[in-house]
């Protein structure tokens, strides 16, 4: 089964990962939002947006937000979730083969890297770095246990980004790892003039 067919079949259930109901997912979103070094972003991108629950949480922090997903079914669900928010655009795209133009000051790669095989993930890491503003932040968050559909490991995904950009924060527990990378090494306090 192709990736598109697999995910389209999964989205016959509108919320296959239970983003709307699981405390695990709500906590993970809260950690992701709290980790972002800036309060506001001008042009942000979330890859693999699923039904748009994380996208909706990111939206108030972004002047423009692009959300992409390989599955047309997910795109339809995300557009429904984001209806009435004209600063959010949802597009179907398979990464890294398809890629948006321009640069972003926030890129969120949450629970998507391990669906790519190692060579696509390596290619995607290089493209992500090329799409990041000089002062932008790239955030990745992934589930740590292995699972049947994963084509590469969480450690591999995060190592590809570690190899290309300085890491500016890291959180991990037994279930997940959440990390951020930026060429701008100022801390949050330094960015706000606290020190």
| Interaction site with ligand SAM (CB under 6 A) | 3, 7, 17, 19, 46-50, 54, 68-71, 74, 93-95, 110-112, 115-116
Length of the chain equals 195
Q: In whole angstroms, how close is the CB of 184 to ligand SAM at the nearest point?
A: 24
Q: In whole angstroms, how close is the CB of 121 to ligand SAM at the nearest point?
A: 9
Closer residue to ligand SAM, CB minimum distance, 16 or 184 = 16
* DSSP string for 33-73: HHH-SSS-EEEEEEES-TTSHHHHHHGGGEEEEEEEES-HH
Q: In whole angstroms, how close is the CB of 98 to ligand SAM at the nearest point?
A: 8
Q: In whole angstroms, how close is the CB of 183 to ligand SAM at the nearest point?
A: 23
Closer residue to ligand SAM, CB minimum distance, 30 or 63 = 30
Q: How far is CA 111 from the centre of its chain?
A: 7
Q: Residue 65 contacts by C-beta under 8 Å, 6 or more apart in sequence?
A: 44, 45, 46, 55, 58, 59, 87, 88, 89
Q: How far is CA 39 from the centre of its chain?
A: 17
Closer residue to ligand SAM, CB minimum distance, 153 or 183 = 153
């Amino acid at each position: 089964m192709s990736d598109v067919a697999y995910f389209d079949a999964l989205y016959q259930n509108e919320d296959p990962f239970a983003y709307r109901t699981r405390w695990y997912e709500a906590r993970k979103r809260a950690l992701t939002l709290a980790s972002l070094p800036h309060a506001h972003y001008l042009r942000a991108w979330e890859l693999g947006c699923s039904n748009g629950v994380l996208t909706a949480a990111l939206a108030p922090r972004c002047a423009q937000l692009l959300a992409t997903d390989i599955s047309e079914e997910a795109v339809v669900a995300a557009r429904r979730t984001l209806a009435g928010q004209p600063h959010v655009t949802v597009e179907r795209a398979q990464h890294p083969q398809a890629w948006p133009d321009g640069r972003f000051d926030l890129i969120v790669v949450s629970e998507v890297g391990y669906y790519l095989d190692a060579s696509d993930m390596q290619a995607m890491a290089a493209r992500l770095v090329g799409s990041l503003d000089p002062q932008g932040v790239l955030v990745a968050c992934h589930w740590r246990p292995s699972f049947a559909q994963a084509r590469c490991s969480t450690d591999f995904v995060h190592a590809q980004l570690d190899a290309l950009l300085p890491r500016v924060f890291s959180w991990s527990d037994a279930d997940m790892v959440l990390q951020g990378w930026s060429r701008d090494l100022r801390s949050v306090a330094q960015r706000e003039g606290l020190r």
